[in-house]
Amino acid sequence: MLILSIESSCDETSVAVTSERKVLSNIVATQIAEHRLYGGVVPEIASRRHTEAISGVCKAALSEAGVTFGDIDAVAVTFAPGLIGALLVGVNYAKGLSAALGVELIPVHHLRAHIAANYIDSDLKPPFLCLTVSGGNTIITEVKDYTSFNPIGGTADDAAGECFDKVARALGLSYPGGVTLDKIAAAPDDKAYPLPVPKTAGEYDFSFSGLKTAAVNLIHNYSQRGEEIDVAVLAGTLRHRVCGILTEKTLAAARALGYKTLALAGGVSANSELRQMLSDECKKSGVKLYLPELKYCGDNAAMVGVAGYYEYLSGNTATLDLNAAATMPIDYR
Ligand code: KG4
């Protein structure tokens, strides 16, 4: 079964052709350079760029896969959550294609797609526990089956990616800050740069807004005093603290719930220390860890196609009245 999949939830326009878990093509047109001018994603610009790019990206995906529209059996599309104007571009394009080709339309939840990135070229099968960390979300989910999810913890405020991005911006690092912060981070120094330990009501919940504010205030205080901050060391200190919290809570959840298989997903899954820390701790605890390939960590349509395949098998298809939604829980259905 050949699926043509579309992703446009934020600042990447991506179209892929997939067959079950296999990726035949995955074209990603990123808007990062333009949003960098503003220090973050400008939603209005994102929507307009998706509209301009989507047709060309789709043609390139078909050509790279060596197939034509006539070979496509279904169209999968990210419909939620994300920037509403950006999502609507992909959803409407997908609706047009599904109507024109006379094939099924498959709505895909963005976080389910990130989790499905772990299925590409791997033998991972549910049930397992998954930590999903991106710019807008940080959740621990039981993946009971390919389309059955039970979130057991999430962030009470900011996502880990948001914390990285905003502190990186205060440090003068270029957008997307989390990526740059990871690249330049040096060994942590908690004494030089003391950061708070967030407290949460739920055992597997997160809170990153206090940590973000503390780090930004620290940067501003240094600047007001005319003192120079060691950008690499503060970056490393924040990264170490955030990765420590994510790793500790996820492994505690795995132990408590008896999971011996763990996966990492979302844009922040590209973080080098998080990958290393989770690998080390999983090894110590006898837990098998799955990490998405770096090229599938950020937003891409290949993961949408793979998630879409399982949604299709479970009967989750849509009609032409499908709408996009800015927010949607992972266990919506
Ligand atoms: O999943 P994603 O591509 O988009 C959504 O938020 O849905 O995640 C983007 C987030 C941004 O906050 C970005 O800074 C962060 O992932 N990110 C990283 C790294 N690569 C991407 N954060 C830390 N270290 C990285 N290497």
Residue-wise pLDDT for 182-214, tens only, equals: 999 999 999 999 999 999 999 999 999 999 999
Which residues are CB-contacts of 204 (< 8 A; sequence separation ≥ 6)? 140, 152, 153, 249, 250, 252, 253
Q: Is residue 97 part of a domain?
A: yes
CATH of the domain at 152: 3.30.420.40
Q: Is residue 184 part of a domain?
A: yes
| Amino acid letter for position 146 | Y
Residues 7 and 88 in one domain: yes
Residues 134 and 85 in one domain: no
| Amino acid letter for position 230 | D
Q: Is residue 329 part of a domain?
A: no
Q: Which two tokens stand for residue 311?
A: 């949604």
Hey, whose CA ends up nearest to atom 10 of ligand 1?
135
In testing the pocket of ligand 1, which one of 9, 30, 164 has its CB within 8 Å of the most ligand atoms? 164
Residues 100 and 166 in one domain: no
Residues 80 and 194 in one domain: no
Q: Is residue 287 part of a domain?
A: yes
pTM equals 0.97
pLDDT tens track for 132-175: 999 999 999 999 999 999 999 999 999 999 999 999 999 999 88
Residue 268 Cβ < 6 Å to ligand 1: yes
Provide the residue range defining the domain that includes 31: 2-117+298-313
Spatial contact of 80 and 322, defined as CB atoms under 8 Å apart: no
Q: What angle do CA 101, 106, 111 make, to 5 degrees?
A: 145
Residues 272 and 156 in one domain: yes
Residues 197 and 96 in one domain: no
Residues 147 and 218 in one domain: yes
> Domain tally for the chain?
2
Residue 111 Cβ < 6 Å to ligand 1: no
pLDDT tens track for 271-303: 999 999 999 999 999 999 999 999 999 999 999
pLDDT-derived band at 39 (thresholds 50, 70, 90) equals confident
Q: How much is the pLDDT for 175?
A: 87
